[in-house]
Structure 1
Amino acid sequence: MTDDTQARIAEVVNSADVLLFMKGTPLFPQCGFSSRAIAILDRLGVEYATVDVLQDQGIRQGIKQFSDWPTIPQLYVKGEFIGGSDIMMEMYEEGELAQLLEDKGVAKAA
């Protein structure tokens, strides 16, 4: 993977307070894990952005190296890698994800 791809990913990661790299879009997730991740973010009521990795092969492969995490979806909060859908689900159920978003000052969706 090129440094250019890494730079693009870093730029995207820092472009939104909450960013989800996923397969598909929030309206049409292309896998169950991406669908679950969107459902969690929607329930938490925060503003978030998404990147459809199916639209860009470079990002699809590059994000796995960027985070050193083998699967998609991947959640970032204020530029920090949080985890995939299983970690999101665990943190959501424990109330940790809502607390993290609050601690980081993430805006609620309008």
Structure 2
Amino acid sequence: MTQDVNARIDALVKGNDAVLFMKGSPLFPQCGFSSRAVAILDHLGATYESVDVLQDQEIRQGIKAYSDWPTIPQLYVKGEFVGGSDIMMEMYESGELAALFGGEQPAA
């Protein structure tokens, strides 16, 4: 991974309270896992930035090395790697994800 890509990812992760690296956009997710991640965040009413890895091959490969996590989507909150959609779902169900965003778990 080039320093340039690492620096770009680092700036995105540290420059936003929450950022979701995903396939597609929140309005048009391009895979089921990205769609689930967006649905979880939207249900929480979370404010987040999204990065479409399909638009940038360097970031698509670089984010996997950056986090040492092999799959996309990847959620970062306050500069920390949270996980992919499965981890997000577990954290959502336990209330941990809502707490990360400083809110209460919404009623189902």
> What interval of TM-score do these two structures reach, taking the shorter chain for normalisation?
over 0.9
Inter-partner Cα distance in structure 2 for 1:56 and 1:100: 28
Amino acid at match of 1:7: A
Aligned partner of 1:76 in structure 2 is 76
Task: Report whether the alignment pairs 1:52 with 2:52.
Answer: yes
- Which aligned pairs between 1:23-102 and structure 2 lie closer than 5 A? 23-102=23-102
How many aligned residue pairs are there?
Answer: 103
| CA deviation after TM superposition for structure 1 residue 55, in Å | 0.3
| CA deviation after TM superposition for structure 1 residue 68, in Å | 0.3
Inter-partner Cα distance in structure 1 for 2:101 and 2:88: 12
When the two structures are superposed, what TM-score results if normalisation uses the length of structure 2?
0.93
Inter-partner Cα distance in structure 1 for 2:31 and 2:9: 21
Inter-partner Cα distance in structure 1 for 2:88 and 2:62: 21
When the two structures are superposed, what TM-score results if normalisation uses the length of structure 1?
0.91
Inter-partner Cα distance in structure 2 for 1:82 and 1:2: 23
Q: Which runs of 5+ in 1 are unaligned?
A: 104-110
Inter-partner Cα distance in structure 1 for 2:28 and 2:101: 25
CA RMSD of aligned residues (A): 1.0
- Provide the identity percentage: 74
Aligned structure 1 segments of 4 or more residues deviating by more than 3 angstroms: none
- Post-superposition Cα deviations, 1:39-90, rounded to whole Å, max 9, x if no partner, equal 0000000111100000000000000000000000000001100000000000
Inter-partner Cα distance in structure 1 for 2:88 and 2:46: 14
Inter-partner Cα distance in structure 2 for 1:19 and 1:71: 15
| CA deviation after TM superposition for structure 1 residue 14, in Å | 1.4
Q: Which runs of 5+ in 2 are unaligned?
A: 104-108
